[in-house]
Structure 1
């Protein structure tokens, strides 16, 4: 009788891949390289209840942040690596997880397949031999070192394939490559300015003026105490100087963009060359040189008065002090050289990211500032803005990403520059961010005849539809807040409501009461533990006309908290919720928590105050689509059409889905009748628990 062979099961063999993968990643990181693969996670296995033999075992290859490929394993005596059965199993799991690649392996060799090409391919992307002529798993232990070594070589080859594909897809960069260089020279100039600021704050008048200016820029408190903790003074002075320097740099970018552009009649603006006295050690001389250029630009263009006006931050960054260095003119000359050497077209595509990178972690967290990537903004704008004449409001504009995308969306739909600029409203509490919103809208079309964006520097909860604002524009006068809008879009702050000052919380309550008492509809009950974005959802209801659309990106707490349940209930009563979208493949910005996109349409208010019944203006059979994306949004939009239209098809495909989908390579979609969301055990809870 033949001696039985010692079978090594798939799970054991798969486990051999984990440690070499992580060791390889650690080595590459130590070499200051960025690995494609960080982990090879051994996942679920299913045993035959009769024999106890492992029937199924996966490995998932992961990057630092997301899964990239699933690997289906069989022993060499069970199946060939290109077995149709093995390919079917691996492909189905890749589809279910939204992964771009699936792999099949029998430990003798491993094959890479592209998920989008289906489950019956004949030619793999990569075929790699791990253990030549390994015919039976019983021989694998003696060859473990060989298998591990070749697995690492395989990862090298697979990584190279992915990197080459990514570089090919990116193509040539249209946007200026000097963005990082600009950040470096801004930091250098800010460090010099910070020395002068630390010296100057011994003057209490200057210190208080700087504190007031910084409070306006950030909405948070700082001290700049020259007699207090030195480390804190150092950090605060650098942050103040960084922001002030960046504000001046954006003005220089605007100047250069105008110098490179033409008037509507085709003639140039004929601006003087952007430069300063580089040999000076006097910061006031630099400030004077720049002020002269600003006045020259205003006179030559007959426009841009607000954008080229000096403010408190100019006084801060160019304060004269005994610590002024000889290279003040030189460091500002470096900024000018970078600005002059780049094409600063469409700054909204890169300025917000630069803005975020210049904020330290503490202030970015306190302010709830997180830059939303363009593809996400395009999706929301494509849903919310349906017509060239739509009036749009972003109640917390940050650097202006949403406002500018909606401007571009309206232009793509046929609106003029003047009309689009007059019909896109933005509200922003932080003066610094508000100035960036105005800057990005101003540079949306530098050849246009007017540049007066409607950006309100105030707290959204101090606004009211139709009320006169504090914004006054040349040839326009004081601007009113819009009475009704067709779309409310944005990424409202993710900060706790209870962290606001008592008087600020009272402002929010007064803001909501003014609307909800007037309309006699149920007052939203979000509790004190809610993030402030929940109250922005209620505020959007105030401004939207019936039929107007809400497009927000909010925290995952919408689907995983008590106050999130209250927001869902509020939306289910007064909106047709078209979709709630999250992603299993990417985080949409650098917040620690995941996020959800809300796409909803306001309906007419009910005739009487609601308690817990459904709104009669929402059809009983209206369904909410819970969408979990399996691929990054950037891969789902159409890049062959202009900005403003690239996400149209994606939105249509999602909203036209009428049944649950689980085998789509792009997403999983589950439909629930909206009236079910008003029940105690809501379908949103089920979605959030997955």
Structure 2
């Protein structure tokens, strides 16, 4: 990969801008590079200038370009860009470190940061400027500039005449994410160099990875991972220090002001400030990742100092648990969040689950995948409101237990719980950093409520992350075997990790205790769902299953979700008589969960809705909700196959989504219907694991020029054989009648029957390599 400097990159961006302007005749813009500016006798240069007119008489925007390791939100950079924009009379200026493009509305000097209006766009995710040479990166940069000039900036400049105002919370999260995405780069590079040169340090690093149960392959991504964690924990400590300084003035904490630009002295002085937080020493304890060296670079230290100065402007107590929780999701890289299935749970979803599971306020509550602690903090508030005898902070904490595999999540959970009563005489959180599957039920007290948003990852994705000695596959198999007794369950590899959370969590739940999970809703209808259905029906009263028709509860996760509420019940007779409520919400959750009026009003609305669901009978529907009640014994009979003598599963999704007429027909024709498997052979279709990659239209096949043998099969022998496309039905909607006609089908399935080495020189190999560069898209 050839070297490229900032000036050369500026030139490329300028050429791309001019090409777009030339092609889009309606655009009034012009663009120039390195425009000289004389301010008070000092000659400065604007990296790029976008003019509002062809005559270059009015400046629309200046763009300051930096390398990826430079923070686009740094005070030094933004103030410098602002000066240039003010001098040129530009209503807007932008800071762009290739990864993050931030467009600011020009402001008068002295305006606080929190009042600055800005537009933020994540463009690419690279670590080195040289990576812009990669074709895929260059294509994304060009697409961004195309959209920016022709749509986003054009509208801001001429239609809206201003940058949209975003809430403080969003600015706060964007600012933190930008800090993490830039600071970790240099730390990672230095760690890699130190590991190569210092065998003792390399061994310490390997030992630390082993303690986490991770594989240390001495790859770039390994160094990135530990570098990111060190930055995340540092930022969290700075935020918590500032919170204590503002909310507990009796501690006498002073603003962090560090003059040195030497990296080692900078960290030493920073921890002297942290050492003043008596009573909260565990929050500022130095671990291996905390002692990783800062890059000995004055520019990096200046950025860190600017960041500390900026964080003084935020009061953590005003940010709120909703935002603190979403920090966990927003600051973790997309690929890692996907790998571990970590997604922040909205507080209205959490409160609804808590409302079903924490009734009296006396319940001991376990969250086995606590993330940033939203379930536990909301359970804390619920218990505080419910218990008549007001409990001490420490007593409530003793009734809450969190388990989290990620160090950063554990830290945020402890912070979230600590700030519930910052003046408590002591703080002792029961938050354990471990894999939930390593917890032994017999060593733990039983809980009356187990609530969580478990990871949605497939088990095979996690196997590659953990060290071979960790043997994740064997661990999951053991959990399934132990589930529910009676020989346990034989579960296939396609079972998501959340299924095993159900199995293991049940062993920590007391009789009549309730379990409330929000998970992918796929288990309702897919093959591996039969294991969960069987497990639920054999061990619980299924209280309710809730799904939203109106909204997605996890915008960042590419899954549809449902809430499952179960009650532990060892008596078969009571389980069979139980009436299961299938609930479809036809309005957003905020219609059911009070958004204003304080905590008392909010919990009253939750209790009102829970009572309504639990008390409904038969079939009910209005403009807000649809509820269908099914006897639990019927669910068992529906899924039990008398021929095989096994529970084979049923499609429970119909009870949530089918229209009212479906249930009327079902009731009237009860004695007329038989399962399809009794009159026809039912087989599963092709399971690719990545339909977006393997299912292609003929237009896409032609575009790539993929050879016929990979999307067709031959019918007949020899030269007289006929090539027939591999037709596939992706959705029943493609079929215009009950008779399937190939000409109606849109997709062909790609079936590659050769080893990769045999594909050299083929178009299909180019397509495969293109897909391999985009693992998150498929």
CA distance, structure 1, for counterparts of residue 344 and residue 375 of structure 2: 10
Is 1:592 aligned with 2:558? yes
Q: 1:311 aligns with which of 269, 287, 290?
A: 287
Query: What is aligned with 1:359?
Result: 332
Superposition deviation, residue 510 in structure 1: 4.0
Superposition deviation, residue 173 in structure 1: 6.6
Is 1:575 aligned with 2:561? no
Query: What is aligned with 1:636?
Result: 592
CA distance, structure 1, for counterparts of residue 311 and residue 207 of structure 2: 29
State how 1:600-611 maps to structure 2 within 5 Å: 600-603=566-569, 605-606=570-571
1:244–1:421 CA distance, 2 compared to 1 (3 A): same
CA distance, structure 1, for counterparts of residue 251 and residue 312 of structure 2: 15
Query: What is aligned with 1:419?
Result: 395
Asked if structure 1 preserves the Cα contact closer than 8 Å seen for 2:576 and 2:631, the reply is no
Is 1:507 aligned with 2:462? no
Asked if structure 1 preserves the Cα contact closer than 8 Å seen for 2:550 and 2:586, the reply is yes
CA distance, structure 2, for counterparts of residue 238 and residue 683 of structure 1: 43
Q: 2:251 aligns with which of 270, 295, 314?
A: 270
Query: What is aligned with 1:461?
Result: 437
CA distance, structure 1, for counterparts of residue 266 and residue 655 of structure 2: 58
Q: 1:656 aligns with which of 615, 637, 646?
A: 615
Deviations 1:311-337 (A, max 9, x none): 121122x34x5xx21134322223322
Asked if structure 2 preserves the Cα contact closer than 8 Å seen for 1:277 and 1:285, the reply is no
CA distance, structure 1, for counterparts of residue 310 and residue 625 of structure 2: 42
Superposition deviation, residue 216 in structure 1: 6.0
CA distance, structure 1, for counterparts of residue 523 and residue 635 of structure 2: 13
Is 1:329 aligned with 2:288? no
Deviations 1:235-284 (A, max 9, x none): 6655543332121111111112112224xxxxx4333313142441x222
Superposition deviation, residue 419 in structure 1: 1.5
State how 1:125-144 maps to structure 2 within 5 Å: none
Asked if structure 1 preserves the Cα contact closer than 8 Å seen for 2:356 and 2:516, the reply is yes
Asked if structure 1 preserves the Cα contact closer than 8 Å seen for 2:620 and 2:626, the reply is yes
1:208–1:407 CA distance, 2 compared to 1 (3 A): farther
Q: 2:316 aligns with which of 325, 344, 354?
A: 344
1:494–1:176 CA distance, 2 compared to 1 (3 A): closer
Superposition deviation, residue 494 in structure 1: 1.2
Q: 1:448 aligns with which of 420, 424, 427?
A: 424
- Mean CA deviation greater in 501-510 or 396-405: 501-510
CA distance, structure 1, for counterparts of residue 413 and residue 208 of structure 2: 18
Asked if structure 2 preserves the Cα contact closer than 8 Å seen for 1:580 and 1:598, the reply is yes
CA distance, structure 2, for counterparts of residue 352 and residue 571 of structure 1: 30
Asked if structure 1 preserves the Cα contact closer than 8 Å seen for 2:515 and 2:565, the reply is yes
Q: 2:447 aligns with which of 454, 478, 485?
A: 485
What CA RMSD, in Å, does the superposition of the two structures yield over aligned residues?
3.1
Superposition deviation, residue 351 in structure 1: 2.4
Superposition deviation, residue 654 in structure 1: 2.2
CA distance, structure 1, for counterparts of residue 167 and residue 607 of structure 2: 24
1:395–1:526 CA distance, 2 compared to 1 (3 A): same
Superposition deviation, residue 581 in structure 1: 0.9
CA distance, structure 1, for counterparts of residue 269 and residue 505 of structure 2: 44
1:327–1:347 CA distance, 2 compared to 1 (3 A): farther
1:586–1:224 CA distance, 2 compared to 1 (3 A): farther
Asked if structure 1 preserves the Cα contact closer than 8 Å seen for 2:583 and 2:625, the reply is yes
Superposition deviation, residue 360 in structure 1: 2.0
CA distance, structure 2, for counterparts of residue 666 and residue 351 of structure 1: 31
CA distance, structure 2, for counterparts of residue 220 and residue 632 of structure 1: 40
CA distance, structure 2, for counterparts of residue 527 and residue 436 of structure 1: 34
Query: What is aligned with 2:227?
Result: 241
Query: What is aligned with 1:687?
Result: 655
CA distance, structure 1, for counterparts of residue 450 and residue 307 of structure 2: 37
CA distance, structure 1, for counterparts of residue 206 and residue 342 of structure 2: 20
Deviations 1:80-113 (A, max 9, x none): xxxxxxxxxxxxxxxxxxxxxxxxxxxxxxxxxx
Asked if structure 2 preserves the Cα contact closer than 8 Å seen for 1:391 and 1:487, the reply is yes
CA distance, structure 2, for counterparts of residue 333 and residue 559 of structure 1: 52
Superposition deviation, residue 390 in structure 1: 1.0
CA distance, structure 2, for counterparts of residue 676 and residue 338 of structure 1: 61
Asked if structure 1 preserves the Cα contact closer than 8 Å seen for 2:482 and 2:488, the reply is no
CA distance, structure 2, for counterparts of residue 575 and residue 602 of structure 1: 5
Query: What is aligned with 2:277?
Result: 297
Query: What is aligned with 2:353?
Result: 380
Query: What is aligned with 1:438?
Result: 414
Query: What is aligned with 1:253?
Result: 239
1:213–1:330 CA distance, 2 compared to 1 (3 A): farther
CA distance, structure 1, for counterparts of residue 302 and residue 462 of structure 2: 42
CA distance, structure 2, for counterparts of residue 212 and residue 631 of structure 1: 51
Deviations 1:286-324 (A, max 9, x none): 2211221222212xxxx22321101121122x34x5xx2
Deviations 1:378-420 (A, max 9, x none): 1111111112221000111122121222122112223431111
Is 1:674 aligned with 2:632? yes
1:257–1:602 CA distance, 2 compared to 1 (3 A): same
1:361–1:216 CA distance, 2 compared to 1 (3 A): farther
Query: What is aligned with 1:549?
Result: 514
Q: How many residues align?
A: 475
Query: What is aligned with 1:495?
Result: 457
Higher relative contact order (CA 8 A, sep 6+): 1
1:216–1:408 CA distance, 2 compared to 1 (3 A): farther
Asked if structure 2 preserves the Cα contact closer than 8 Å seen for 1:239 and 1:360, the reply is no
1:426–1:536 CA distance, 2 compared to 1 (3 A): same
1:259–1:551 CA distance, 2 compared to 1 (3 A): same
Deviations 1:98-130 (A, max 9, x none): xxxxxxxxxxxxxxxxxxxxxxxxxxxxxxxxx
**Alignment partner of 1:549: what SS?**
strand
1:313–1:586 CA distance, 2 compared to 1 (3 A): same
Query: What is aligned with 1:623?
Result: 579
- Mean CA deviation greater in 358-367 or 374-383: 358-367
Deviations 1:493-543 (A, max 9, x none): 1122345548223334445656755xxx56244333211211211222211
Is 1:206 aligned with 2:201? yes
